[in-house]
Structure 1
Amino acid sequence: MPETTQKGTKSSSFHPALAVPNIRNHVTVTLGLDNDQYRLWVALFTNHAKSTRVLHHIIDPNGKAPKPSTGDDQELWETIDATVLQWIYATVTNDLLETVVEEDSTTMDCWNRIRDIFLDNQHSRAVTLEQEFSHVSMDDFPNAYASCQRLKNLADQLKNVGSPVTDTRLVLQMVSGLSIAYHGV
């Protein structure tokens, strides 16, 4: 219901977050425990949160999103928070969803649980990815393109956990993993 503000203009309780019919159109990455797209997912999600004026539901310098005290404002805040929480749920895999869902959780609680999962394990994930990157061989793939794509994907994941791979190292690993048919290269 619109109400008149001090300047005499009409305000509405309608919020731009409530107009998002499909979050997957804006956050096109599915975050999972088995992929390291956390930084990309965060970048897409926070950009969308800024554009719909809900960033304070996921990131707050004080660590707690302020809840309004009046009834109507509190109801709208809870509706928007539930909407943003649903966005998170819709952009993560089922395995991750089972890990982060908690009853009566706010969006910020869920956001922080996801952050902790991905950033607290950064070093161990880097070791695992590094091991896999170092052992990529073309013999394990149907063609050279698939092998190169896997190396690129692993290099991107290593970058996301704070262990970037140089282009030179990427090329050297690609060459060292070539099958016997390419040994003349």
Structure 2
Amino acid sequence: MLRKTTKSGVMEKIMGPSSKHKHKHATLIWRAINGVMSFFFFLCSIVQFNDPDPYLWVPFYCIPACLCASIVWKPDVVENKYWRVLSSLHIAISCFSSIVLILQLVHYFREEIINPLRFEEGREMLGVIIAICWIVICRFCNPKKSDGSQQIGAMMTMVVIIGFLPFAIWIASCLDSYHHCGNMWAS
């Protein structure tokens, strides 16, 4: 990292050409993976129309889809106060929803410990966890704000893995059965 002295005598950091190159690539990856996640959340909202309570789950997944799409459009939108308020509100509602879903799942575990994905509440809980994790990542991981190229590389690797994990889970559940989640790998 190079430094230069400004007219006022203050030392400033100047990013070398490789750091600028890394930031540009990281921003492209960041936008692409948010595009993937926006598509994922949009698909999640579409499949909720066959759910008994689509009025809850369609907006629940549309909000993260729109938040991710806004990052694709303009990556710096995460600094916008309206984006931050909407994401904070969604995270708060999601945390409350996860508590409610956990309490509903406890009912099934009174007799024996079984796979929670066999129940609608367990699958809903997984969706809530994915939404919470991704919105938190979007709020606090901005490739333009990171200092070192190793930090950018590690962050982008984590983002890519976490970004494709929901698709892998969804494909695995579809391979098990073609009707509405079947028994989700019965245990």
Assess same fold via TM > 0.5: no
The structure with the greater share of residues assigned to helix is 2
Larger Rg: 1
TM-score between both structures, scaled by the size of structure 2: 0.29
TM-score between both structures, scaled by the size of structure 1: 0.29
Relative contact order (alpha carbons < 8 A, sep ≥ 6): 1 or 2 greater? 2
